[in-house]
Structure 1
Amino acid sequence: MVCLMPCTKGVVMAETKSTCCYCGVGCGVVIEHEAGRIIGVKGDPDHPANFGRLCTKGATLHLSAAPDTLIARALHPELRSSRDEGRQRVSWDTALDTAADKFAAIIAEHGPDAVAIYGAGQLLTEDYYVFNKLMKGLIGSNNLDTNSRLCMSSAVAGYKLSLGADAPPCSYADIAHTKALFITGSNTAFAHPIAFRRVEDARKANPDIQLVVIDPRRTDTAEAADLHLALLPGTDIALYNAMLHVMLWEGWINRDYVDAHTEGFDALKKTVREYTPAMAATICGLDRKHIEQAAQIFATSPATMSMYCQGLNQFSFGTHNNSALINLHLATGQIGKPGAGPFSLTGQPNAMGGREVGGLSNLLSAHRDMANAEHRAEVAALWGVDSVPEKPGKSAVELFKALQTGEIKAVWIACTNPAQSMPDQALIHEALKTAEFVIVQEAFGHTETCAYADLLLPASTWGEKDGTVTNSERAITRVRAAVSAPGEARHDWAIVVDFARRLGTRLGKGELAARMFPYSAPEEVWNEHRESTRGRDLDITGLSYTMLETVGPQQWPFPEGASQGKVRLYEDGIFPTPSGRARFVVTEHRITAESPSARYPLHLNTGRLRDQWHGMSRTGLVARLYSHEPEPMLHMHKDDMERRQLANGDLVKVKSKRGDVVLKVVESATLRAGQSFLPMHWGGNTMGGQGVNVLLPSDFDPYSKQPELKHAAVQVEKYTAGKALVAMRRTEVDADGNLQPNPLAVMDRLRQWLPNFPYASLTLAGRTAPVIVLKARGEELAPELLAALDRELSLDDPTKVLSYQDSRKDVAKRALVEGDSLAAVRLAGETKAADWLTDMMVQGHSAAAVRPWLLAPLTQPPAGQAARGKVICNCFDVAEDDILSAFRAGESLDALQARTKCGTNCGSCVPELKRLRHSVSN
């Protein structure tokens, strides 16, 4: 839906409804645009996922589409003639003919399993569908997997194993109806903020709702809990089995429900009899009484709901983590009624849509199973091919291992960044180097994976795409384009269709390819997908683009003839299994893929930041989204820091069996001793080395094939080698509203220096006129390197630059003053004032305040000139130090919000505001 309205500049501004492209909450957005440019975004008040609310990431979407971000876009097809040469711009015909030639030659010589496609949960359903059809139908291989394998495949396998189908039974509306909410394996306040706003609303409306949070860390989500179970990483099964043990002992099992609607309970009983609360308390590191309390809350509440995410999924036993939790719901009848049931929170905006079309190497369209001959025949008939292959394809980890060994020769990577997001990054980078041919289909040309592309295909992205997505609660939403894609970028589905026709000709299947890929618009693709669901558990034959556009998002199933979709599933107690009964799954506690040892004594937990998303290819373009946590940092318990003689801000080397990273350390009260935490977003584009995932193991769950991205065993030691370096460049807004110099262009050029340093951090700071900040430490700061860096920052003209050097004290400063502002700074040897200088540049303070410091042998900031600290409220730029000062002075939270407006817009910072208030009052 597009709405036109007059703009004050005389240009007609339009509004187009779409969805947010970040997490699986699936928030509706209204994109404001004029003259072919996106100029604003706001929450869609009519969308049932968010009712107008947006988190910090969603509220800044328009900034990721600002004119200066075009420098980060892939705008034209690019091809390299050899691995020793750079890519050159080519036409789309040359690009796709080359791709078709390469794939056809490899298939002819080595067979269809020698090629693969690796996609993403950010693709639209229509994109997913044609990729799936290309690989499994035309090429004849199941080597199609996506980054949903890293995110949701254990949830998929858990639902199928226990309930019979990959179908979340709950809806967001159930949050308001629940009486006990268990959030487990999810820092929902950070990872799914708008869903957490609904939790806050529900508890405000009904203070009797009990919130139990199960998480090794005391996150902002856990701070809000009535009961926080800080279990040891990977011990969820022992906890859930012990809770079921208590329920059996106390007679809290809903025997009528178990007898009428489930099977396998007796076998499970035999197992959980061994899991006494005392036994589980030892395994989990919990108080036995808290386990008993959690069991009582879960079993005796009138309606119990659980919400969970990667903390259950990303383990080598993630499927059984899911099933062990679902066992509790089945045993107590807490499913199929308002406010009750197991609700998997999808990590990506359309991971659900990808699952619907069979977008994993072991699935087929419309929740069909590859192992089922009847299902394969149905898909073959739908696609008009003789058959679809029976053998499951390579899952994500298997795919890249096969690429590294040469079993797979060519890979097509679409809308994802495995050179940052996969575990065991050393293996992934080696695989991409080894591959004969790598196609990368991307909107952003600066990702780590793009560096390995032999062929780069520019794709459209948020605000430019047209199709559908499905969110965590099974709601399908129409995604509409507000503006045209820049340069020669094309829609993902259209690229695939064009390629498929060319490949078909080369494989001697030209007529077949033309019949299989007749599409000229995404609606034609969607209509075929819709028909594939007829009679299936996710039947959407009653939906159409027109209905989604006029009525709004709809939940599946929505079969032909229905008047609405299903808000919740299994209300009749009938499940999509051969017997019609849900299945209890026997689950046993297993240890993590890696356990702490004398050499690697610390648990490493990974997770998400509030203001960044995945590999930061989009959020990393927006300066203000760095302000909450400005660079990669290892969070540690104070006892572990003291034992290693570490202080906040010290550099540490974090090492696992696979690799190491060097970054800053920060004390955290969220962790127990023996544990550490590292956000998963930082890759080789923003830090030294190959990013944080170089530390993580590639061990995966045997059922879901999802790798253990949540946990590793590591050692941590202080890093003091080499010399420190800081380089900063401030930008200005010119008369046309553009940033000069372009910050993303400067960052792109500075990336060439990152491999020179064991420690490096390349980020942005500020808001309107961001500052580019490079922090590094190298074994030796060679004069030629410093000279090249000075040229990049316009610090090479001695007539314009202030400089100070004292070799004896290892102090070297260089600064550029433009007008009355500090425009650029380079510090070498000693960098203690870096954060203060960043604040001075961000705030635009007069250079006169800095000049005396620049021309003196001082290293620390001047007295009383400390940095302002991290920004808690991104909407109104309110920093932590200011908030704490207000609370210490006796100001109430309400008064603070009235004065500064912090927490009154998107609400993402409200949990942290409450935590800061609590820390002062205690």
Structure 2
Amino acid sequence: MPHDVKTTCPYCGVGCGVIARVEDDGQVSIKGDPEHPANFGRLCSKGSALAETLDLEGRVLYPQIDGTRSDWDTALDRVASRFRQTIAEHGPDAVAFYVSGQLLTEDYYVANKLMKGFIGSANIDTNSRLCMASSVAGHRRAFGSDTVPGCYEDLECADLVVLVGSNMAWCHPVLYQRLAAAKASRPDMKVVVIDPRRTATSDIADLHLQLHPDGDVALFGGLLHHLHQTGVVDHAFVRDHTVGLEVLLAEEPGSSLAATSNATGLSVEELLRFYALFAVTEKVVTCYSQGVNQSTSGTDKVNAIINCHLLTGRIGRPGMGPLSLTGQPNAMGGREVGGLANMLAAHMAIENPVHRERVQRFWNAPRIAEKPGLKAVDMFEAVADGRIKALWIMATNPVVSMPDADRVRVAIAACPFVVVSDIQSDTDTARLAHVLLPSTGWGEKDGTVTNSERRISRQRGFLPPPSEARPDWWQLTEIGRRLGHEAAFDYDGPAKIFAEHALLSGFENDGERDFDIAAFSDIDRKGFDALAPFQWPCPARTEPRESRFFAAGGFYHPDRKARFVVSRQGGAARRSTDFPFTLNTGRIRDQWHTMTRTGKSARLSAHLAEPFAEIHPRDALDYDIRDADLVDLVSETGAHVIVRALLTDRQARGSIFVPMHWTGETAALGRIDALVPSRTDPVSGQPASKNVAIAARPYRAPVYGFVVSANRPERGTLPFAYWALARAEGGYRLELAGESPPEGWELWARAAFCLPAGADMVGYVDTVGGGTRLAFFDGQQLLAALFLSDRPVAVSRQWAISQLTAEHLDRSARSRVIAGRPAAGQIDKGAIVCSCFSVGINEIAASIRSGCGTVEAVGQAVNAGTNCGSCRAEIRRIIDAQRPIAAE
């Protein structure tokens, strides 16, 4: 019988509930869970496409040792023996785990218990270090604990929402929908967006402040002094619940408006407008994300924001407070179990001897890590210089995502022993593994995750693990047993791990620690299976309830008072004559991390199918870069990338934005983090990915090409300086540029795309215009089509892709493929704008010409923008561009 399973989306930190419907034939469909309090049924484009990512293409299906198939016992014995030998010869700090916010809390818990309590080192860190470590450090400095005070409902209760370094429309789309709906229902609500780019989120902003990179400390330091000078201070809250305001005011003297203007790049008028708006509005929520965290002054930025909320007492009450928007689905769950190298489980501190003794006693562990371990950047430095000799990487791809990524690749390749647990076999990191272990993926995993508002939800499996794939917690448990700790790792499932995690959270707590879910410490498998989403804290003998922290103080420093923290001014320009641009990296709307999952969806790849650089048109003119040119970007690391130029005045002059999703599997030179130096925040250890000095120059190739193919090109058959590969409906799409293959285009295509010997070819070579077009058919089916030119190829790409699933019954149909455009009367969608419904720009433009003058009217006509809403800003820009045409 068809059945529904409630689970949680595996992408961003919003933590949306989804319902997976499994049919009798195994087909899966996805919809939002209307009862889940994070999303109330809403999903973004990525969440809506989850069912399209569940295939087994490229999956790791069995353990491998040195690239050869093995079995679990042999592989686990190899891992345990190499780790045991390394520890015996070089000590526990010679081994390390690098884990991920993609792990479930139960996986995270076992990994930390094994490393910190039984191996005896704190060398376990997570890719969450790259996204939210500065937020953790800022919370701990201000509050005495890593506590998120508020919840999502505050976005709907607030009268002013300030979004700092957060492209919420693309990176947390469901929260953006909730905010946009609240603003539509209460037009007096104000939204301020603070971002060097004019992103899609700016579409709902009443004020967009396009500040200099790293100008946040100056901006919020100026705000604090303005509030203090104008008397917008909650004196009772400051007196009763805080410490350090006088020191802050003395050591961080207020700058003049002119100086703040110079440090931020904002006009005095813009500063005064923002400061006045913040001052007169009591219900203020300040949301911040990677634009704040990913900085050498990220922790200070966080504290500069929190300082303003402490000064005004606007914290912990409905519609008030700072709100950190985490990047990954379980970054918060990892924080709860001590997933960072400088933390212990249950929000205890590794530098606190009382906490260390408590955790060791609870675990009955033979030892406990006595000092913080190596944070992510330092960890890979230690791999590079040989201090770490055995490394286990779980559910992440550091060869792509770490800063100075080329150096990280070299370090991992040289490490004596590398274990990788993953779902995909051919990632840039998995290819370097001595032992590759097959993990379960979303849809197969079973456990819990915690979202950005402290809400713990179940992630439930609804598909059987493929072949020999096993959960990460099981792999870790087996290694713990093989290292001689059978009793400590006697787990038969995630329910038992969760119960132990809950018990530790309440162990000798008595309100000393914020994280407490001891109410679930006796949960059994049946109760775990039925567990409904809930917010922590939930101490023993209490029922789950919605909660906020700190409205009446009760902070977690020993005196129970919050700290005002002196923040350093960031914003120093890194640009130079040799590197005149500032690189800003980030996400795009329809892809996630390194596209291991989302890259499998043709629908998600249709919007932005190749790596690109947003450049201001006047900057492009200065450097002879034309729209759709290829551009070569170089940084002081010595690395370079080649990406497509996208000219837009949404980008500030002197700055270039490039997404971080492309890998060695999907592009020739698209790994943008190779350009990012290993600079980190001195407090949090988080790398700075938003303010990198680079140079830009056009890349001119002798030949450019666009290819559609039913088959994926064979690895090693793309000898071009530039190529970018993406899934497409019916096959793949490929952009390329470089030298022509020496064997000629026909022979190259037949080999690269594994075309059968009998495949028919039609085409032509234009010796005058410099164009070549070839198409290969097997009966009525198009196998591959190549469109080549001595300049960027002009072809209707979406129409060409559609020919992979069309029938080509006669010569005229084949000729249209070669022409690269539809016949009269046929539909050409144009570039995809709305991924949810695969609506192209030509369809939207046609609806506008027919009289649809608003985003809502376009949505009624062609559905675009009516699901996740992330494309609404783009639709509005198309409407604005079409109005002069419609008026003629």
Counterparts in 2 of 1:107 and 1:718: CA distance versus 1, 3 Å? same
| Secondary structure of residue in 2 paired with 1:413 | strand
Write the distance in 2 (CA, Å) between the matches of 1:411 and 1:192.
32
Contact 1:24 1:349 in 2 (8 A): yes
Could you tell which deviates more after superposition, 344-353 or 844-853?
844-853
Write the distance in 2 (CA, Å) between the matches of 1:388 and 1:36.
50
- In the alignment, structure 1 residue 364 sits paired with structure 2 residue 328: no
Write the distance in 2 (CA, Å) between the matches of 1:862 and 1:323.
60
- In the alignment, structure 1 residue 532 sits paired with structure 2 residue 521: no
Partner of 2:317: 337
Quote the offset at 1:668 in angstroms.
1.4
Partner of 1:50: 39
Counterparts in 2 of 1:76 and 1:794: CA distance versus 1, 3 Å? closer
Amino acid at match of 1:528: E
- In the alignment, structure 1 residue 201 sits paired with structure 2 residue 181: yes
> Aligned residues, how many?
871
Counterparts in 2 of 1:888 and 1:264: CA distance versus 1, 3 Å? farther
Write the distance in 2 (CA, Å) between the matches of 1:155 and 1:120.
17
Partner of 1:134: 114
- In the alignment, structure 1 residue 778 sits paired with structure 2 residue 738: yes
- In the alignment, structure 1 residue 74 sits paired with structure 2 residue 60: yes
- In the alignment, structure 1 residue 823 sits paired with structure 2 residue 812: no
Partner of 1:617: 596
Quote the offset at 1:866 in angstroms.
11
Q: Where do residues 399-478 of structure 1 align in structure 2 (5 Å cutoff)?
A: 399-478=379-458
| Secondary structure of residue in 2 paired with 1:826 | strand
Contact 1:653 1:663 in 2 (8 A): yes
Counterparts in 2 of 1:460 and 1:846: CA distance versus 1, 3 Å? closer
Contact 1:426 1:690 in 2 (8 A): no
- In the alignment, structure 1 residue 883 sits paired with structure 2 residue 848: no
Amino acid at match of 1:598: T
Quote the offset at 1:682 in angstroms.
1.2
Contact 2:774 2:787 in 1 (8 A): yes
Contact 1:661 1:759 in 2 (8 A): no
Amino acid at match of 2:760: K
| Secondary structure of residue in 1 paired with 2:783 | strand
Amino acid at match of 1:629: L
Match of 1:750 among 698, 703, 714: 714
Match of 1:275 among 249, 255, 277: 255
| Secondary structure of residue in 1 paired with 2:704 | strand
Q: Where do residues 253-268 of structure 1 align in structure 2 (5 Å cutoff)?
A: 253-268=233-248
Quote the offset at 1:519 in angstroms.
0.7
Contact 2:163 2:192 in 1 (8 A): yes
| Secondary structure of residue in 2 paired with 1:552 | coil
Could you tell which deviates more after superposition, 878-887 or 17-26?
878-887
Counterparts in 2 of 1:699 and 1:269: CA distance versus 1, 3 Å? same
Write the distance in 2 (CA, Å) between the matches of 1:211 and 1:829.
47
- In the alignment, structure 1 residue 249 sits paired with structure 2 residue 229: yes
| Secondary structure of residue in 1 paired with 2:220 | helix
| Secondary structure of residue in 2 paired with 1:752 | coil
Counterparts in 2 of 1:799 and 1:29: CA distance versus 1, 3 Å? closer
Amino acid at match of 2:871: C
Amino acid at match of 1:78: Q
Write the distance in 2 (CA, Å) between the matches of 1:866 and 1:832.
23
Write the distance in 2 (CA, Å) between the matches of 1:835 and 1:604.
30
Partner of 1:814: 774
Could you tell which deviates more after superposition, 309-318 or 538-547?
538-547
Write the distance in 1 (CA, Å) between the matches of 2:17 and 2:201.
24
Write the distance in 2 (CA, Å) between the matches of 1:430 and 1:555.
42
Contact 1:812 1:830 in 2 (8 A): no
Write the distance in 2 (CA, Å) between the matches of 1:21 and 1:919.
36
| Secondary structure of residue in 1 paired with 2:735 | strand
- In the alignment, structure 1 residue 640 sits paired with structure 2 residue 648: no
Contact 1:794 1:824 in 2 (8 A): no
Contact 2:177 2:868 in 1 (8 A): no
| Secondary structure of residue in 1 paired with 2:486 | helix
Counterparts in 2 of 1:878 and 1:780: CA distance versus 1, 3 Å? closer
Partner of 1:705: 685
| Secondary structure of residue in 1 paired with 2:688 | coil
* CA offset digits 1:793-837 (Å, max 9, x no partner): 355747711143356764433211344453311345547546425
Quote the offset at 1:881 in angstroms.
3.1
Contact 1:804 1:854 in 2 (8 A): no
Could you tell which deviates more after superposition, 270-279 or 185-194?
270-279
- In the alignment, structure 1 residue 668 sits paired with structure 2 residue 648: yes
Quote the offset at 1:550 in angstroms.
4.6
Partner of 1:569: 549
% identity of equivalent residues: 40
Counterparts in 2 of 1:609 and 1:837: CA distance versus 1, 3 Å? closer
Partner of 1:7: none
Match of 2:579 among 594, 600, 610: 600
| Secondary structure of residue in 1 paired with 2:378 | helix
| Secondary structure of residue in 1 paired with 2:114 | helix
| Secondary structure of residue in 2 paired with 1:375 | helix
| Secondary structure of residue in 2 paired with 1:234 | coil
Match of 1:873 among 831, 834, 837: 834
* CA offset digits 1:90-119 (Å, max 9, x no partner): 010110011111111111111111111000
Quote the offset at 1:720 in angstroms.
0.8
Write the distance in 1 (CA, Å) between the matches of 2:8 and 2:844.
33
Match of 1:839 among 795, 799, 813: 799
Counterparts in 2 of 1:774 and 1:138: CA distance versus 1, 3 Å? same
Quote the offset at 1:765 in angstroms.
2.7
| Secondary structure of residue in 2 paired with 1:611 | coil
Quote the RMSD (CA, aligned, Å).
2.3
Contact 1:114 1:410 in 2 (8 A): yes
Counterparts in 2 of 1:864 and 1:232: CA distance versus 1, 3 Å? farther
Match of 2:21 among 17, 21, 32: 32
| Secondary structure of residue in 1 paired with 2:22 | strand
- In the alignment, structure 1 residue 916 sits paired with structure 2 residue 888: no
Contact 1:363 1:370 in 2 (8 A): yes
- In the alignment, structure 1 residue 759 sits paired with structure 2 residue 712: no
Write the distance in 2 (CA, Å) between the matches of 1:660 and 1:886.
42
- In the alignment, structure 1 residue 901 sits paired with structure 2 residue 863: yes
Contact 2:741 2:748 in 1 (8 A): no
Amino acid at match of 1:76: Y
| Secondary structure of residue in 1 paired with 2:667 | coil
Quote the offset at 1:618 in angstroms.
0.3
Could you tell which deviates more after superposition, 802-811 or 687-696?
802-811
Write the distance in 1 (CA, Å) between the matches of 2:454 and 2:821.
55
| Secondary structure of residue in 2 paired with 1:445 | coil
Partner of 1:299: 279
Counterparts in 2 of 1:185 and 1:123: CA distance versus 1, 3 Å? same
Write the distance in 2 (CA, Å) between the matches of 1:853 and 1:46.
50
| Secondary structure of residue in 2 paired with 1:783 | coil
Quote the offset at 1:621 in angstroms.
0.6
* CA offset digits 1:633-665 (Å, max 9, x no partner): 111111011112222211110111121111110
| Secondary structure of residue in 1 paired with 2:607 | coil
Residue segments in structure 1 that go unaligned for 5+ positions in a row: 1-11, 81-86, 505-509, 731-745
Contact 2:125 2:341 in 1 (8 A): yes
Amino acid at match of 1:824: A
| Secondary structure of residue in 2 paired with 1:642 | helix
Partner of 1:583: 563
Write the distance in 2 (CA, Å) between the matches of 1:552 and 1:799.
56
- In the alignment, structure 1 residue 88 sits paired with structure 2 residue 68: yes
Write the distance in 2 (CA, Å) between the matches of 1:426 and 1:918.
43
Contact 2:118 2:366 in 1 (8 A): no
- In the alignment, structure 1 residue 216 sits paired with structure 2 residue 205: no
Write the distance in 1 (CA, Å) between the matches of 2:799 and 2:491.
53
| Secondary structure of residue in 1 paired with 2:2 | strand
Residue segments in structure 2 that go unaligned for 5+ positions in a row: none
Contact 1:663 1:760 in 2 (8 A): no
